[in-house]
Amino acid sequence: MLAEPAKRKPKMSERQPLLLQQSDNSDYEGSRSGNGLIRPPVRSSPPDSTLVNVHSEDSIAVHAAAAGDDDDEQSSQTGEEQQGKSLYNPTHHRALEHPTSNFDTLVHLLKGNIGTGILAMPEAFKNAGLYVGLFGTLIMGAICTHCMHMLVNCSHELCRRLQQPSLDFSEVAFCSFDTGPLGLRRYSHLARRVVTTFLFITQIGFCCVYFLFVALNIKDVMDHYFKLDVRIYLLLMLLPMVLLNLVRNLKYLTPVSLIAAVLTVAGLAISFSYMLHDLPDTHTVKPYATWATLPLYFGTAIYAFEGIGVVLPLENNMRTPEDFGGTTGVLNTGMVIVACLYTSVGFFGYLKYGESVKGSITLNLPQGDVLSQLVRISMAVAIFLSYTLQFYVPVNMVEPFVRSNFDTTRAKDLAATVLRTVLVTFTFILAAVIPNLGSIISLVGAVSSSALALIAPPIIEMITYYNVGYGRYNWMLWKDFLILIFGLCGFVFGTWASVAQILNPSID
């Protein structure tokens, strides 16, 4: 029993093995992490807190008198070690080869949140109503931003406890359970797998949406000359999409990402010019929609705030990570811009096109206008090129496992190529089976985006601060419960409404 902790942490004091031996069933016992993370005692717990919990004050006094000066000396040593851990700053121990500046991080944060979701916001407003969508999107943005802060704060707290420089999303989920209540520690590996699975589903869903978005916009341009089924365009895209995604090095995708960003900005600017021209009166659209379509709005809106998966990687790679949080930090600045853009596109897009608005606002632009045709083509090319960046995340979750099953380098590379081809083909099949862009966006948002953005962060925070406390009147606990209930309701009802619309497209 003494050898295992000593092996995990070579620099343990004489007192620490004794504490581990005496408190096998305590809330601070180290367990096998399975991911190479060192498990020191929880930073925020007082020294020998496990002994305080099991003994009365009188017995502690008797024990202290019997132990004498030797015990006082050992307790002082333990206290110094705990104080050292409380002063541990994970941001000072990150060895970054190419750290990003605040501006770089802001640009990446905007790019991680602005995708096809922003073009679907007018249809989201149709499902909510003009004013419900207006205030609902701003409130949704505030809640999602707060959940991002929760995730970052939990990551910092766990990094200090474990003396790790950084953690990603799945590692934060694992470590929160692994250092939390004793009864939940057995589920730490499950928590990591669940978060990883939802990250995989989310990115595959984004790829499916991107595939269909490109095909629909190309079809809308070509319909001016001749009409073909959207599945024909999906099939024509399959081979070039597979070839593009065989590129394994992100360095070669940097120019691709830059071109996609420029085309996206240009397309959004021109789309705004169309939306703001000859706006009708606000009385021409409904101020609020029915309860039946409100879950569809939730799914699309939460899909649009798709950037929680990139929050920790961005913060972990900053040159000055202390500038990421805070009232005027990078995160708040970026998310305010994102929320304002989403609200503006949704509000003016729905006001302009009313009930005839489609799953992407580009599909509502005048078909015979040359400039609108250029917008569709530019946005289609931008999303086509962005597919590779979205695809990079899920394929790198699965590829190491696939490569580990083969011995030779040639076999590993061949298996990786087959895997990429299969995954791209899978997204093609999903897009061909469900050629309704709005329904797919709402379903992906309700299922995976709500799980990652609204359900996982409050659970992680409740477990992370279990040994620390939830503040006065347990305000943190009540706040997390409210966000969790909101996320679960959106998950259940949003999924139900999206599936119902996919099975019966006539539902409006």
Kindly report, residue by residue over 421-454, the tens digit of the pLDDT: 999 999 999 888 887 777 888 888 888 888 999 9
Q: Give the count of domains, the chain.
A: 1
pLDDT, tens digit, 9 for 90 and up, residues 145-182: 999 999 999 999 999 988 888 888 999 999 999 998 99
State the Cα–Cα distance between residues 211 and 242, nearest whole angstrom: 12
CATH of the domain at 313: 1.20.1740.10
Q: What are phi and psi of 318, to 5 degrees?
A: -80, 150
Whether 330 is covered by a domain: the verdict is yes
In this prediction, residue 333 carries a pLDDT of 93
pLDDT lower than 70: segments of the chain: 1-86, 249-254, 505-508
Does residue 60 belong to any structural domain of this protein?
A: no
The label of the residue with tokens 């489609």 reads 358
Type of residue found at 169: F
Q: Distances from the Cα of 193 to the Cαs of 171, 189, 190, 217, in angstroms?
A: 10, 6, 5, 36
CB 445 within 8 A of CB 302: yes
Can you give the residue range of the structural domain that contains 183? Answer: 91-503
Helix spans in 114-229 (H) = 116-119, 121-128, 130-162, 169-178, 188-222
**What per-residue confidence (pLDDT) applies to 40?**
43
Cα–Cα distance, 197 to 186 (Å, whole number): 18
Q: In this structure, is residue 376 part of a structural domain?
A: yes
Contacts (Cβ under 8 Å, ≥6 apart) of 301: 121, 124, 128, 136, 137, 140, 342, 445
C-alpha distances out from residue 208 to 298, 363, 431, 436, 440, Å: 19, 18, 6, 11, 8
C-alpha distance from residue 310 to each of 33, 112, 135, 253, 360 (Å) = 24, 7, 26, 18, 24
What local confidence, expressed as pLDDT, does residue 506 receive? 60
Q: How many CB atoms lie under 10 A from the CB of residue 265? A: 13
- Is residue 44 domain-resident? no
Contact (CB, 8 A) for 234 and 212: yes
- Residue 443 pLDDT: 86
**CB distance 331 to 108 below 8 Å:** no
Cα–Cα distance, 56 to 51 (Å, whole number) = 9
Q: What is the pLDDT of residue 37?
A: 54
> What is residue 132's predicted lDDT score, i.e. its pLDDT?
93
237 occurs within a structural domain: yes
Cα separation, 3 vs 185, in Å, equals 22
Flag whether 214 is in a domain.
yes
pTM of the model: 0.75
pLDDT of residue 264: 84
According to the model, what pLDDT value does residue 503 have?
82
Would residue 61 count as lying in a domain? no
Give pLDDT, residue 86. 58
The answer as to whether 43 is a domain residue is no
